[in-house]
Amino acid sequence: MNSKEIFDIVHREIQHEHNLISNRMSWYITSQSFLMAAFAVSGGANHSFQWLARPFLPILGIVTSLISWLSLIAAVAAMNRVNKYRKDILDQDNELQNLAPFSTKFQQNHENWFDFMKRVGWIHLAGLSPPVVTPLVFLIAWVIALAKV
């Protein structure tokens, strides 16, 4: 198998990781919407669903936020690991280095999280912020809701 074929496989793996992140974010936002709506409705005084609002839904929101956040962080880490492998392939193959999209977009070294954070541009960082930050925002909201009930 030549470098170009390996590079294409690695590229498809990165696309797969992006799709996983997208699917996890869609599932997460949908689940949080339903949980928040159920929490708001169950908090009313006109029915007997108080047991649902206090403390079951906030705890469920906290647990799903933690699980989702961990899975999204894992997907971002896996994508960064594959990006490093892609960079290694580029470094070893002069033909691939000469292709403008490859040589200009993926020359960053992603050896570890801190190195990655130092080297990525603000566009890449902004693109990764929703899957990393959104579960933390909902987590904080659920902790506040749990404290209030």
pTM above 0.85, yes or no: no
pLDDT at 100 over 50: no
For residues 17 and 73, the answer to whether their CB atoms sit within 8 Å is: no
Distance CA 63, CA 71 (A): 12
The pLDDT confidence band at residue 47, using thresholds 50, 70 and 90, is low
Distance CA 53, CA 42 (A): 5
Q: Calculate mean pLDDT across residues 107-116.
A: 54
